[in-house]
Amino acid sequence: MDRACKEFQNTVSDYLIRHRSILDVMSKLQEATAHVNRAITKSVTSCGCLKIEASKQPIPKDAHLSEMSEYVRTHLEGKLCPNCLETVEAELGNAMFYLAATCSLMDLDLEKIITHENSRIATLGVYSLT
């Protein structure tokens, strides 16, 4: 993954021509995230390959944080159909483009950020997510 991440960031940096302003990239990242949300929403409301079944999740009062995954659900039922999968993946790819662009413009190393975050999560476990 190391090589792929660095190569992706370099490619994004090379092709980031039209939206080179950090303000443009920030707004495009937010817009791309909205498109991801919309694609997932459409898989529920238009296609129907996914269903959201949500209600209050009962969690015992004495449950430890490390046991939470046993009690909480994703609220998702079904699986993305090939068409919706392609759309969601494309929208996530677009969001990743603008995330990498943000890193490039700010001289940040996306791979280093991912590696650091992975280490932090692995070290702290579920307690890192509170």
- Domain residue limits at 116: 2-129
Cα separation, 115 vs 107, in Å, equals 16
Rounded to a whole number of angstroms, the CA Rg of the chain reads 18
Find the CATH number of the domain harbouring 7: 1.10.287.1080
Residue 100 CA, distance from chain mean position: 13
Query: What is the chain's mean pLDDT, rounded?
Result: 91
Please report, rounded to a whole number, the percentage of residues in the chain having pLDDT higher than 70: 95
Question: What's the pTM?
Answer: 0.84
pLDDT at 126: 62
Q: What are phi and psi of 56, to 5 degrees?
A: -60, 135
State yes or no: pLDDT of 75 exceeds 60.
yes
Please report, rounded to a whole number, the percentage of residues in the chain having pLDDT higher than 90: 68
Instruction: Grade residue 20 by pLDDT with cuts at 50, 70 and 90.
Output: confident
Count structural domains, the chain: 1
